[in-house]
Structure 1
């Protein structure tokens, strides 16, 4: 014998009467089920069964994000990919904390199908936060009882110490790239430009003085990599769009690069693949993938016999060395395109060994009897 419970659960979205039917093996189970459903209806917490899948829930949530940039949408899509690939066909109401815990474990150990490398806290925590946003949205709509992602423990982020070049290392690397075809790109990196700003820089935004090594460059484009795909967008923030004066050395390097590109275009003729727009391109005129530029940088550091720091750390080096030379934080912030000088101070200004030794020497002068 089976026991059936039928409960009025208000009205559906189309205004029709909604009834909930459940079957149980025993009378006691039926009574408990009736009490639970009735209580949920009264409290407004009852959630009707739904066949909505994890894949459809993610797709619907992304479709509802109307005011985000294409690059942000691509980043969200990439972050949700592991969940959708593993549990996309599952009813979202069946998704549990255990499912997400196992997903996190597999991502951190690199065991997910097709995974090239293990994910770190920097990737996993944003993924969990996005999953939580998807589920919380369904809770608000009354389509889900609770957000199980909220109960998944986030990974502890390791304390990251930003590494920067010393003055001597900067000189050594720049000396090494004096005749490098991409020497101007590395000068731009050590002048504080982001990787995306270097890849997106156009000749129309570079004003060079014909009579002397001087000029300006305007950061107006950003060419970034999201999930391995290249996206072109406006600068990161309003303050990121900025015009900077060129040092004589950087102006000279840019002039040389422009002349070299013109010679390459002439030599290849119809086989030249570029349109002459970008500042940093290969010898056939094609813009580099941002990740390729990072690969070249790693090789360059080894060849120049300096520490292998990230390409983005060249930007940190610029800020730290400016600070060591006494440039005010507000000016460094404007140069880097930051909205908040306090952020510049917290994030980019570091005391290197040379500066610490100088500080120690200064202290010694104070405490040494005359």
Structure 2
């Protein structure tokens, strides 16, 4: 195996490799371009020779990063949900391709990737108003790493340069939610609103937005005071679809007595309203509907909440934060994290512990106090030895 370099112009080098064709035994030459110092060209030549000798060499080609990223995003479509794929496509086309699309796949280096992340954090917004959020840059890194990993599997390149780059650190933001007093004020304010039922389900049962709008009367067991979460509605640019809940499985959630009572009244009220427009309520009827009885889309529920929040004196929080409120209420009152995890539909209790760690210190203090009290009582009851 031989290789040598040739200077084409100042700072531009040709690396010429002499390779023997494994099938014919004939020698052939492979040319690589290199920009830099003579010493750098010599090191690159040596690296390529080592790759060939170790069997890790992949013949250079003209594939650009834009070609790879578009091919990978199409490949990933069957592996993620439509909503996730929509987000992936957005990041690939708006962030990764503009930054790296013109780079040849086999010439991409960790330093280039790191520079892209740095620029994205300082001036990555398309409107020119500053940098991207660290969480967005972390997603860019994750997607680029996945695409390059697949390129290695496709034998388009010998290595994944993104593995040598660390993404930025994302600082966790404080969680905004309502305490019990604020929750009572919220429910009082919604007494005559169409949002009352979906908000009660969010803040008293911890359901996600898609799970709330997917609820039908067949999912509600008023006799036993429970609801079954077996479906979720996802909205993308292509339309609305029904899917399984985020955890991949259904769950049964016990209803608070006040919500069970409210649902009994609401079912009668909804039936009368629908009957007035010639629509019959059935087990397939959704709990949260438009005035004509048709189901509400997830984004419509979010917009309705934003309108309500804007006109309220309560702190402005997201619709999803009502789910956080339910979790913090439970944990603050000493409910075991495993129980909270099951109600929230987390796939692992560790997710619950991680998300709501800010609530756990108080629980720990209470637990220590209870153990201390129990030991103290046990010590007091212990028979004293006679000296």
Do they superpose with TM above 0.5? yes
Cα offset for 1:168?
A: 0.6
| 1:237 maps to which of 219, 240, 247 | 247
Deviation per CA, 1:336-356: give whole Å up to 9, x if none: 22343344334236449xx79
| Cα pair distance change 1:37/1:105, threshold 3 Å | closer
Q: Hey, what does 1:80 align to over in structure 2? A: 92
Contact kept in structure 2, 1:75 and 1:227, CA below 8 Å: no
Q: Report the Cα offset of residue 170 of structure 1.
A: 0.9
Q: Report the secondary structure of 2:320's partner residue.
A: helix
| 1:200-279 equivalence runs, <5 A | 200-209=214-223, 215-225=225-235, 230-238=240-248, 241-259=250-268, 261-263=270-272, 265-266=274-275, 268=277, 277-279=285-287
Contact 1:194/1:312 (8 A) holds in 2:
yes
For 1:18 and 1:260, the matched residues in 2 are separated by 85
Listed as ranges, the gaps of 5+ residues in structure 1 are none
Count of aligned positions: 347
Specify every segment of 5 or more residues in structure 2 that has no aligned partner in the other structure, as ranges.
Answer: 1-5, 9-13, 374-387
Distance 2:268 2:143 in 1: 47
State the 1:76 CA deviation: 3.3
Aligned to 2:383: none
Report Cα offsets for 1:223-249 as digits up to 9, x if no partner.
2356897553201225x5111232333
Deviations 1:70-103 (A, max 9, x none): 4444443344232235544653234455654564
Q: Does 1:54 align with 2:65?
A: yes
Counterparts in 2 of 1:339 and 1:189: CA distance versus 1, 3 Å? same
Asked if 1:316 is matched to 2:324, the reply is yes
Give the number of the structure whose alpha-carbon radius of gyration is greater.
Answer: 2
C-alpha contact (below 8 Å) 1:200/1:223 kept by paired residues: yes
Structure 1 residues 52 and 9: CA distance shift in structure 2, 3 A = farther
Distance 2:294 2:131 in 1: 32
Contact 1:320 1:349 in 2 (8 A): no
Maintained 8 Å contact 1:71/1:231: no
Distance 1:20 1:150, change over 3 A: same
- Among residues 152, 161, 169, which one is paired with 1:156 in the alignment? 169
The 1-side partners of 2:212 and 2:33 are apart by 66
Give the Cα separation in 1 of the matches to 2:79 and 2:305.
35
Q: Could you tell me how far apart the structure 2 residues matched to 1:142 and 1:236 are?
A: 34
Q: Does the CA-based 8 Å contact 1:190-1:315 persist in structure 2?
A: yes
Residue of structure 2 aligned with 1:45, choices 41, 44, 56: 56
SS in 2 for 1:131: helix
Cα distance in structure 2, aligned partners of 1:293 and 1:18? 68
Higher RCO structure, 1 or 2 (CA under 8 Å, sep 6+): 1
* Contact residue 125 and residue 132 of structure 2 kept, 8 A: no
The answer as to 2:144 corresponding to 1:136 is no
Cα distance change on mapping 1:103 and 1:259 into 2, 3 Å: farther
Q: CA deviation at 1:60?
A: 3.5
Return the alpha-carbon distance in structure 2 between the equivalents of residues 265 and 116 of structure 1. Answer: 49
Is the 1:223–1:290 Cα contact (8 Å) retained in structure 2?
Answer: yes
Selected match of 2:200 from 166, 180, 187: 187
Q: Structure 1 CA distance, aligned partners of 2:16 and 2:310? A: 73
Does the 8 A contact of 1:45 with 1:142 survive in 2? no
**What secondary structure is seen at the aligned counterpart in 2 of 1:8?**
strand
Residues 106 and 112 in structure 1, CA contact (< 8 A), matched pair in contact too = no
| Aligned twin of 1:174 | 187
The Cα RMSD (Å) is 4.3
Equivalent-residue separation in structure 2 for 1:244 and 1:111 (angstroms): 43
Distance 1:185 1:301 in 2: 14
Inter-CA distance 23–256: structure 2 relative to 1 (3 Å threshold): closer
SS at match of 2:291: coil
Q: Aligned to 1:174, what secondary structure does the other structure show?
A: helix
Moved more, 90-99 or 168-177: 90-99
Q: Distance in 2 between matches of 1:166 and 1:36?
A: 61
